[in-house]
Structure 1
Amino acid sequence: MALIDLLIVDPLLVGVCFTTLSIIYFCIYQLYLHPLSHIPGPIAARITPLWLWYHAYIGDEASTIYALHETYGPLLRVSPNEVDISDHDAVPAIYTLKGGFQKAACYGNFDIDGHKTIFSTTDTEYRSPRAKAVVPLFSTKSIRENEGPLYECVDRMVERMREEKARLGRSNVLNLTRSLAVDAVSTHLFRENYNGVSEKGRILSASAFVDAFVAVGRFFYLPNWLFVWLEWTIEKCAADEKTEMSMAAVDKFVEDVVAKTKSGAGNYPGRLMELGLETSEVKAQCKDLVFAGTDSSGMNLATICRQLAMHPEKYEILRNEVCTNALSGPEKHEIQSLPYLSAVIKECLRISMANPTRLPHVVPTEGWTFKGVLFPAGTLVGCSAYELHFNRSVFPNPFSFQPERWLEGTVTPEANKSFFAFGAGARACIARNLAMTELFMATERLVLKDVLRAARPVQSKVEIFEWFNSSVKGEKIELVWN
């Protein structure tokens, strides 16, 4: 009776006891009674999403989860209602078959200026007309018709690298490849060149804008209401002049392009205007494209430059193939059909980690069974490029640069199934054809001009923040020439 009497007269003790029992019950439920309790994972991750949010924030999510898979197996519970899958057999169901599962709500954290974009929306009815309007611009036919202006962008970048090589003996190739990327995407899709390669500054004016959007990946998994509050707080308390100037430069470029464009014009904003969209949304969709087209393509091409500099013997093989083809006259092949060039680019896409983390989607109402394991409706499931591209059973010595993996007679079906650089299915990167063309053109020109001969990397290792879009620590991938 003494304890009961104490509880009656001490409401604080009642509250403490109730809270303690509630926490104990909650932990027991998450660990042993939750519908996903049969999926292994760290105790902290199975109890609370804070574990995942923390690793996403500090930027080691992908490598941490990669290491945990070696302990727990191909299915890993990374949050109370979220499972990471390191098995390429899961890709078709999640991303491809019948359109794949719906994107998770956290993609909404990549909305721009209050508008959902073709990338960020989870609503297929919202996305479908917008995507259909612009998909023709990414077709092989459209890109081929615009080869001349694209090669002009590439040649300016190659000449800038040659100039830096001669004048300084070193180059931040990440800045140059980002500059090319924004020039290529604006030239092809807006019909107006951003002229990033021609800028006199040491860092591309759009870089801080891109970096600000990349940094959103720190908070990718947060509930949207919490993300919006946090974003507002950061804007009020941690804004910096460099980012504001960069945002203003991109805003002005996009505003000028949209102002010059008429509804029905063949470029990207013109096709969106034809749908009757508000001008503010057209601008948001264009800014989303500038961000996406600059970041991933820039990282991928910088990785190609670095790897070729690190492996001069492979550079010589590639140079022999490219130069022989260039001198072949009527027998010249399309560059995208050159086997070693294709292998170099695909291998660099495998290891560049431009987009290292998971692409979470939602298990539909009927649930999903994968290899005998049941995933209830509403479960978040996803695969990541980091897991698939560095799978040791598929890619022996996964962190080494081996273009030969992709040559005919060597490449395995498992390797092709595990290639995830652009995602998969209907929601894969809409600009992948343009991105690949840009990589082929730039690599061909760099090799033909022999710019990378005698180059060597400054950093022994490129370290990244493993956010949704990776961010290079130090913002440099540098080469020096002897």
Structure 2
Amino acid sequence: MALLEVLIETLSSNPLTALLAITTAVFLSRCLYRLTLHPLSHIPGPLLPKLTSLWLYYHAYIGDEATVIHKAHKQYGPYIRVSPHEVDISDADALGPIYISKGGFMKADIYNNFDIDGHKTIFSTTDVDFRTPRAKAVVPMFSTKNIRGNEVELYGCVDRVIQRMEDEAVTGKPVNVLNLGRSLAVDVVSTHLFQQNYDGTSEKGNRLSVSAFVDAFVAVGRFFYLPNTVFVWLEWAIEKFVPDQHTNDSMAVVHHFVENLVSTTPKGAQNYPGRLMALDLETSEVISQCKDLIFAGTDSTGMNFATICRLLALNPDKYDVLHAEILANANAGPAKKEIQELPYLTGVVKEGLRLSMANPTRLPHVVPEGGWVFKGTYFPAGSVVGCSARELHFNPVAYPRPHSFQPERWLEGNVTPEANKHFYAFGVGSRSCIARNLATIELFMATERIVEADVLRGARACQDKVVIYEWFNSSVKGESIDLIWENKTSA
């Protein structure tokens, strides 16, 4: 009773001290719970992420998330607690249950941070009933048959970017192949899916008009793990108090292009917006879905294209092998193979996808009701789990000398089950990249034609290393991947 009286007297005479004491007690109790009693307390990892999500928010923001988590895996093993409620898993066997089996686990709510103009998109939604009819309407456009039916137009996009590369190469100045890759990607997406060419390859200069628009959505990855309410308010504050006119101008250019596209597309037309309009969606949502496609198709494929060009420039011996294969096929007459049947070209494209780190970080999904047991380790319902391309693509067991460019590892007789199992360039399962087929064929086409034209002969990489911000969609520091040709003259 005396102790209670002392406590009451303290509360009444020193309210600030009492408040501080209560706050400290609650904080320490919360920390103790998360360390010892929380359902994920058995998962190892650094101390700070066990206590607070701020650790993950910080590393996501500064762009070294994948690197610090990789170091933690080396110290603690295949399961790392990266926030009080989230686990990063470095084991390809987890891909099946998380992303594939019975449709996989549901996406985490934080994907809503990628909504566009207030609309959920095929990518950002966590609602299966929302996504299914929209995806079903447009999926036929990504079939191999559909893409081959548009082959002439797509090769036209490739040939224009090759001509631009040749024109810039003879200037003796560094050529930003990341910018060229984005130019090609936006033209392929718009030509094939919109049936209206954006014509990015005709734009002069080192900065594509769509790039700031794309970069704005890439930068969402800095705040990817924030609760959606916090994210929305933060996004509003940034736009309000730190306006970026260059980004706003790029947003306006893209909006005008898409708005004009949608307004001139008849309902039921067999292009991307027409197929969505046939579902009687709001016009504003169709515009948002098209913007999402431009962002996703331009960013990742541009990065993959630039990476392949750089890797071939850095490895002239492998370039020569590829050049010989492509020329032999071009001159094979009736025996000419489809480009995706060429073994060394396939190896080059797959190695480029493996090494490019276009999407390096974890794809978070939520453990369903009833929990999940994986290899004897229990993950409670509601916890967030996922695997990352950074962990899988640089696994030395699956890929000996994982940081080296070895197209040969994908040749018949060399490729291993582990290599195939760890390949994660487009995700896996029902929520994998909807445009993976188009993106892959585009890279095959571009690599084939560039090497056949011998454009990369004599090219040298300007950067010793390409450094990225490890966001959901990676961002190249300096915004360029440069090649330079010395003593090259026009034909």
Give the distance between the partners of 1:384 and 1:391, measured in 2 at CA.
11
- Cα RMSD of the aligned pairs, angstroms, is 1.0
- Report matched runs for 1:13-32 at 5 Å: 13-32=17-36
Partner of 2:157: 153
Q: Deviations over 1:418-439 (max 9, x none)?
A: 0000000000000000000100
1:322 aligns with 2:333: no
Alignment of 1:387-402 (within 5 A): 387-402=391-406
Which of residues 368, 375, 378 in structure 2 aligns to 1:364? 368
Number of the residue aligned with 2:273: 269
Residue number among 454, 457, 463 corresponding to 2:458 in the alignment: 454
Name the stretch that deviates more: 205-214 or 7-16.
7-16
The alpha-carbon deviation at position 201 of structure 1 amounts to 3.1
Partner of 1:257: 261
- The question of 1:122 aligning with 2:132 is answered no
Residue of structure 2 in register with 1:78 after alignment: 82
Which residue is equivalent to 1:404? Answer: 408
Residue 291, structure 1, aligned to residue 295, structure 2: yes
Distance in 2 between the 1:8 and 1:174 partners? 65
Give the 3-state SS of the residue equivalent to 1:467 in structure 2: coil
Distance in 2 (alpha carbons) for counterparts of 1:198 and 1:171: 15
Deviation at 1:8, TM superposition (A): 4.8
CA distance, structure 2, for counterparts of residue 181 and residue 11 of structure 1 = 62
Matched, 1:243 2:256: no
Q: For residue 169 of structure 1, report the CA deviation from its aligned partner.
A: 4.3
1:341 is matched by which residue type in structure 2?
L
Residue 104 of structure 1, aligned match among 92, 103, 108:
108
CA distance in structure 2 between the partners assigned to 1:11 and 1:240 by the alignment: 45
2:489 corresponds to which residue?
A: none
The residue number in structure 1 matching 2:228 is 224
Deviations 1:273-302 (A, max 9, x none): 000000000000000000000000000000
Q: Distance in 2 between the 1:224 and 1:7 partners?
A: 37
Identity, in percent, stands at 66
Residue 403 (structure 1) shift: 1.0
Q: Distance in 1 between matches of 2:28 and 2:217?
A: 39
In structure 1, the gaps of 5 or more residues are none
How far has the Cα of 1:366 moved from its partner?
1.6
TM-score (norm 1): 0.99
| TM-score between the two structures when normalised by the length of structure 2 | 0.97
Structure 1 counterpart SS, 2:202: coil
- Identify the match of residue 381 of structure 2 among 374, 377, 380: 377
Q: How does 1:302-313 map to 2 (within 5 A)?
A: 302-313=306-317
Aligned counterpart for 2:16 among listed residues 12, 19, 24: 12
Matched residue SS, 2:217? helix
Following the alignment from structure 1 to structure 2, what is the Cα–Cα distance between the partners of residues 291 and 7? Answer: 56
User: Retained in 1: the 8 A contact 2:172–2:485?
Assistant: no
Q: Within the alignment, does 1:180 sit opposite 2:184 as a pair?
A: yes
Letter aligned with residue 54 of structure 1: Y
Amino acid at match of 2:361: T
**Larger CA deviation: 104-113 vs 250-259:** 250-259
Cα shift readout 1:185-210 (whole Å, capped 9, x = no counterpart) = 00000000000000123311000000
CA distance in 1, matches of 2:304, 2:19: 55
Partner Cα separation in structure 1 for residue 392 and residue 86 of structure 2: 18
2:10·2:18 contact (CA, 8 Å) conserved in 1?
Answer: no
Q: Which runs of 5+ in 2 are unaligned?
A: 487-491
Indicate the SS of the match to 2:398: coil
Deviation at 1:170, TM superposition (A): 3.0
- Which residue is 1:349 aligned to? 353
Instruction: Give the counterpart of 1:66 among 39, 50, 70.
Output: 70
Aligned length: 482
Aligned to 1:279: 283
